[in-house]
Structure 1
Amino acid sequence: MRYTVDERHERIVELVREHGSLRVADLAHHLGISAVTARRDVEALAASGRLDRVRGAVHWPGTPAPQGRPPQPIPEMPPTAAEPEAPLIGMVVPQSKHYSGEIIRGAREAVAAAGGRLVLGYSGYRPEQDAPQVERMLESGVHGLLLTPSWASGTGGSESTGADFAVPAVLVERRGEVGTRVAGLDHVCTDHAGGAGLAVRHLIELGHRKIALVAGESPTAVQVRIGYEAALRAFGVSGPPVEPIALYGGDIDMARIDAAAEQLAALAAERKVSAAVVLSDTDAILLLQSLRSRAPRLRVPEDLALVAYDDDVAALSDLPLTAVAPPKYEVGATAAELLLQRVRERATGAAPGARRHLDLLPELRVRASCGESMGKTLNKDLIDHSAH
């Protein structure tokens, strides 16, 4: 039988009143819920004063706790396996728009396919909200957590940061700092450095060596810059022709777009830059529009080739943009499937498999903004790095 949280609490109170003292494990078995959920229910009832909590058991207020022997099992419960709970998965993300939207959709559909339900919490990119959102999820009785903490660089956690949530947890588009306890969590990420490398390689193969990077402030931008600079070195280019051209973080800032367009047009006119990788595709479209109004003699792609990083709307530009497409849906679905596996392992008592650090490589979708024929797609791979 399935219970709502309130129904479950009332049933627990009824059973404890009837028997005086009961083991939490027996309550979980009788109600067909996980031990973690039973412990949280008992703790909530104890906090409200309805029951008294003792180690491993619960008893009716005013009833002495059993001395020298554990409480007896619930008599009417035969020793058969309880009906497994449908998985309830909590997901804490900075927001649900733009990049996160497809990740959430992938996770939601993977959880639904397993007969479960996904619930969301939002941090709003405020680090101080990460822990309260996680706590709220745990209090609601989730069986596992998908976490995208508000780490500015995309990598975080310290030795003092807890990684034991009492339920399985998987980081999504975030990596734990090497050497910390958080680094021992599973994670599923886009290989943004590899995606930037695809863009640079493509431009190099077209003959460009003076390639600029135009990007705002975000965890993705940190990884894109690492890949951009590494790819230039791999092709024997000593370094970027100019320092990355800064955009903005957060909401669109047209003043910064226009300033970047003016700087890029001047660099192209002086032949210091012949191509640019722009994060994101929305910014790339706005940059192209600004270039046309501020430097009408500058031709794209003849004088300046453009590759957008992200592919939500790149194909909808009047000059369709070549773009790196992160596998956002697959990241969400893969993270959810990995978490569901961990939840099953815990529920059945199976030995957990090796922790997994999964990097999914983006695709490069070639269109008109670099001067090539349309329809070409490069590199759809899954890189699986298993942590042992």
Structure 2
Amino acid sequence: MRESAAERHDRLLDLVRERGSARVSDLASLLGVSPVTARRDVEDLAVRGLLDRVHGSVSWPRDATPAPAAAPGPGAAGPGGGMVLGMLAPSATYYFAEVIRGAHEAAARAGARLILRISDYRPEEDHARTEGLLAAGAEGMLVAPGWRRPGDPAAFGDWITSLPVPTVLLERQPAAGSPLDALDRVCSDHRHGVLLAVRHLVGLGHGAPLLMARADSPTAVAVRSGYEEALSVLKLRAPQDVIDSVPAELAPDGFEDAVLALRDAVTSGVATAALIHNDVDAIQVVQRLAELGVRVPEDLALIAYDDEVAALADTPLTAVAPPKREVGRHATELLVERLAQARGTGGAAPRRHLSLLPELRVRSSCGAPLG
């Protein structure tokens, strides 16, 4: 199986951790990739604050504790007695780049070392990657499983409750009453984010907005359920069924069908507003709609969900922004607190489910005054 970019990034980070610093040309040789690929990977990781880059070399960030020459066993303390925190994330790009950055910053402030594994949204590999973190000395775990479908928590989640170290779930909400529901967790309240968007569009004089959304991630599922709840709270009826969205680069025909369905809803007067998850899709939708004669915001008021690149669109997109960096920060602080309790330096405390509220960033695409 061909190695994904996320897996290659994971190996690159491991190499730099082990050495403290390395030349990009040496990393290319060790990774078995071209120098161009290695430079591109290094630039990507440096932009996200996961590496420092200077004059053809890279080093572990200055505010993080470098790895020891030999990895300690499970439960061992990091250099200088600092805590070692393991983090499993489904991706090191896009949404989770900010979550990782927040966790890294909080770990550095606490004098802890954060080590990372990426699952590339393959939940069947989550357990093995977490075992790798434990073998590398992780005393506590931040876990964002690579779930993509509604059945994934049941199929690929039981192992999390058996981890031998304190564990905090990130951006994942298991079924109420399930064993995973008893774990500490820190999440964005996506239902609140959707309600902000729907209420804003209705406040501008629109009827219930259409929803165009993916169905391939926990965030997408939460946005869909949040949409139903928002309409119920505001006593609105959906103008038509949710339009299923797919990535344009992976399924161009499916993407075109989704855009045409939205175009038809606008031109027929069914809807004058829409919420689109996510903002990469939203930018491509706006571009294609313009080619089909539908203008944003003149013909369609639009809000995107995620706010990763929404502000960079030709017509800057109003967007719901989950507090991604704060999720990583609060989850890490909670894990450090749990580890302090386990070391006997703090009293026991109840488990916590912490929900952080997204915000609505108003730009041009909804037709509202900027503010």
Structure 2-normalised TM-score?
0.76
2:88–2:145 Cα contact (<8 Å) kept: yes
Larger fraction in helix: 2
Give the total of aligned pairs. Answer: 302
2:246 is aligned with 1:207 = no
Aligned-partner SS, 2:201:
helix
**Which deviates more, 93-102 or 144-153?**
144-153
Q: 2:153 aligns with which of 149, 153, 156?
A: 156
- Superposed, which structure 2 residues align to 1:87-98 within 5 Å? 87-98=83-94
1:176–1:185 Cα contact (<8 Å) kept: no
Distance 1:336 1:250, change over 3 A: farther
Q: Distance in 1 between matches of 2:248 and 2:312?
A: 22
The residue type paired with residue 156 of structure 1 is P
**Which deviates more, 347-356 or 114-123?**
347-356
Which residue pairs with 1:182 in the alignment? 180
- Superposed, which structure 2 residues align to 1:1-388 within 5 Å? 4=68, 6=70, 36-37=75-76, 85-153=81-149, 156-157=153-154, 161-217=159-215, 218-237=217-236, 239-248=237-246, 253-294=251-292, 296=293, 298-348=294-344, 350-374=346-370, 376=371
Deviation of 1:258 (Å): 2.5
Aligned-partner SS, 2:81:
coil
Deviations 1:37-74 (A, max 9, x none): 39xxxxxxxxxxxxxxxxxxxxxxxxxxxxxxxxxxxx
Which residue pairs with 2:21 in the alignment? none
1:161–1:181 Cα contact (<8 Å) kept: no
2:274–2:300 Cα contact (<8 Å) kept: yes
- RMSD over aligned Cα, in angstroms? 2.5
Q: Distance in 1 between matches of 2:288 and 2:126?
A: 37
Q: Distance in 2 between matches of 1:372 and 1:162?
A: 45
The residue type paired with residue 356 of structure 2 is L
Q: Percent identity?
A: 43
Distance 1:318 1:6, change over 3 A: closer
1:147–1:172 Cα contact (<8 Å) kept: yes
Aligned-partner SS, 1:176:
coil
2:247–2:281 Cα contact (<8 Å) kept: no
Deviation of 1:152 (Å): 2.5
Which residue pairs with 1:51 in the alignment? none
Deviation of 1:179 (Å): 1.9
Deviation of 1:279 (Å): 0.7
The residue type paired with residue 274 of structure 2 is A
2:248–2:255 Cα contact (<8 Å) kept: no
Aligned-partner SS, 1:263:
helix
Deviations 1:219-275 (A, max 9, x none): 1111111111111121221x3111111112695544333322211111111101111
Q: Larger Rg: 1 or 2?
A: 1
Structure 1 residue ranges (4+ consecutive) displaced by more than 4 angstroms after TM superposition: 2-9, 157-162, 249-252
Q: Distance in 1 between matches of 2:68 and 2:310?
A: 45
Q: Distance in 1 between matches of 2:289 and 2:368?
A: 20
Q: Distance in 2 between matches of 1:163 and 1:105?
A: 25
Aligned-partner SS, 1:236:
coil
Deviation of 1:173 (Å): 0.4
